[in-house]
Structure 1
């Protein structure tokens, strides 16, 4: 009987190493489809939350965790009970934008220590081509004493989870799968087909699958960078970028991208993995790194526009009372890691402005730990000289003009400076109401 059949018949277990925004939805879905799942994470506090039925990521919801048959574990020895392992840990970049493989290397060491013969290990973490075979496999072999290709097999299936997206889910997105040989590829494909209703795409090799993932987000990054550059140009011309894009979008083959801050763990990170490998091979990226430079600078650009608006409104810049609504890297997601809103905050600090920050969705403890930022409540955003709508959370996007009015100083002579980063408001309505309105 094949490993796939044993998993289907609940004779063997599947493990998920890393229960974050990517790993948890995968683990939950497999358990929901009748697979015996061991969910492992090094973070014992997170595991305790899961055991108590709480989903800190908001990706699957408390009820899905409370009703799941998955076995949660912070004890790495539990991994010995599984034969099919999926590794879904972050792959961030260092301060110098070089790949930080520490999490995936650490996960490989943990898994290697607990790897049993005839297992299959599939990595989902976004990496540059070659990491799975050249970095992870040697660690697995060293820690386990087993030989890859003889005692265990490996595969790669890049994650396509979109945090906060309730439409494009694991089971509705075609899954790329790969394996070190035809037999492994077949096993990996069949196991993922248990949960992916949209089907799988069998890549020719592990390196092809790794490359496919890293260019998906690089492509988006470049397109958004183009929109951000257009926004800068049109701003100088006094033209509203959103209006231009709406007009251009009437052509059937115009790509539907908009300017914005590019943070998170994928679009703002993955391109650096590709350019790092290219540099190793003697090629210096031109288009990809140009896009990265533009996108990495947009937080500072937004802060500069806010300061210019304050000056134009004859409001003092130093110690200006500024409220920022939203701090996460994307809407309706509590994750603050690699948020670009912090770039706005830091740049405003350079001008002597200590903004008040409110975010009804964000993980407040995480924000304080990572950035030293303490949130206030939405009700505390008042008597402001300027307000920045930074993230389009549903609660923020639903604000009425009357509610936004209440956030500003009541003096009739004071202009209300409103920075709408995501362009969620009706520009004409707010300008007609006397606002000094600006958006990307």
Structure 2
């Protein structure tokens, strides 16, 4: 397989060109011919012009790349290796939604030829690659795993908005269906990462390693969120407590906040789903999820309590939400917990307006039922700084005075304005 790629005889195909797939496709295209495939024709059209719809990559990242972008699955027949990097979300009941992953597996099965490789990067529960995806490929292709094609798993570690930990300088965990596959996949990823490749004994181990990376972070943030609720009742600022505790050499510093996005707020449910399937009911992991999933409503409750105490007519009260994406300095709104804040405030019939420097208003309207305003106007009874985008970091107390009533609350979720708001009531997690 590698010889075919390096000689240019065959191509490597990347299925799914979002935050994960696009950097992988462009990274590989510096070394071998690549076909970048996505079912979204508008996305493909933008990529063909050298534009990343997510604004994560620049024109320079597209240069000197041997890549073709397409939405035509027939072109994939030219590939000998397929890297699958499609989303794996949960549904409204927090049950894993494998529909896009299985459709991608079916697409690969329809075009793969004997001797081909399939590598999955999408986050899944341990066992998913071999138990759910491989049977689809075998059925449609007529090929058998091991003799007809080989499969592997290399969990994605792309962190949107992070220009330091990129594909080129992070360690890639790899596993194959056998020793030959593992070695081959390790050599493939070794071409694009300078940090090295970590080989594990099985695909299940690689899948499990990915799922606990985000589960661990989710639990740590849940602890911080619960502490912030407790400290708020005590009249103690959580961020000041964390700064003090962090002076101890072995204290691991995490911060409270809204936990959304397509990784930390989703991946733990894949693990607990599989555990339940095996007869084990998770206690600690689901407790963390319960805390984090409830933080949007908790923030809204604090705002509503202030408004009830300070406004004669709650229905006339105006609230500005600053930030709508799932984290700072990205345009991605998937699983944004800011939506929970907005919907909880709207349930009290408050007038809620939302602004964000990078999010797409139409996407927010389709996904969550609210859009964006371009510029804050008038006087607000509360302002919630939900996402600490870089555009917000230089704002001053005078700015918040200019857009709020004298009785207003400044709800600073991440504590970025602590000690800078003097003439308005201030609250943070």
1:318 Cα deviation after fit: 2.1
* Distance in 1 separating the partners of 2:332 and 2:419: 32
Deviations 1:262-304 (A, max 9, x none): 0001101000000011111111000000000000000000000
Is 1:195 matched up with 2:192?
Answer: yes
Deviations 1:192-218 (A, max 9, x none): 000011011001100000001001100
Residue 378 of structure 2 is matched in structure 1 by: 382
Gaps of 5+ in 1: none
1:363 Cα deviation after fit: 2.5
Instruction: For residue 428 of structure 1, give the secondary structure of its aligned residue in structure 2.
Output: coil
Instruction: For residue 201 of structure 2, give the secondary structure of its aligned residue in structure 1.
Output: coil
Contact 1:415 1:434 in 2 (8 A): no
1:316 Cα deviation after fit: 3.5
1:66 Cα deviation after fit: 6.0
Aligned residues: 429
Residue 306 of structure 1 is matched in structure 2 by: 303
Q: Structure 1 residues 95, 183: CA separation in 2 closer, same or farther (over 3 Å shift)?
A: same
Contact 1:271 1:288 in 2 (8 A): yes
1:79 equivalent among 72, 76, 89? 76
Q: Does 241-250 or 7-16 show the bigger shift?
A: 7-16
* Distance in 2 separating the partners of 1:213 and 1:29: 21
* Distance in 1 separating the partners of 2:19 and 2:404: 36
* Distance in 1 separating the partners of 2:193 and 2:362: 34
* Distance in 2 separating the partners of 1:66 and 1:34: 13
Deviations 1:124-171 (A, max 9, x none): 010001110010001001111111111100000000000111111111
1:111 Cα deviation after fit: 1.0
For 1:269-418, list aligned pairs within 5 A.
269-314=266-311, 316-377=313-374, 379-409=375-405, 414-418=406-410
Contact 1:112 1:143 in 2 (8 A): yes
Residue 429 of structure 1 is matched in structure 2 by: 420
Gaps of 5+ in 2: none
Deviations 1:330-378 (A, max 9, x none): 111101010000000110011111311111111223212211221111x
TM-score, length-normalised on structure 1? Answer: 0.95
For 1:17-416, list aligned pairs within 5 A.
17-31=15-29, 33-65=30-62, 68-314=65-311, 316-377=313-374, 379-409=375-405, 414-416=406-408
Deviations 1:200-258 (A, max 9, x none): 10011000000010011000010100000000000000000000000000011111101
Instruction: For residue 419 of structure 2, give the secondary structure of its aligned residue in structure 1.
Output: helix
Q: Structure 1 residues 66, 312: CA separation in 2 closer, same or farther (over 3 Å shift)?
A: farther
Instruction: For residue 371 of structure 2, give the secondary structure of its aligned residue in structure 1.
Output: coil
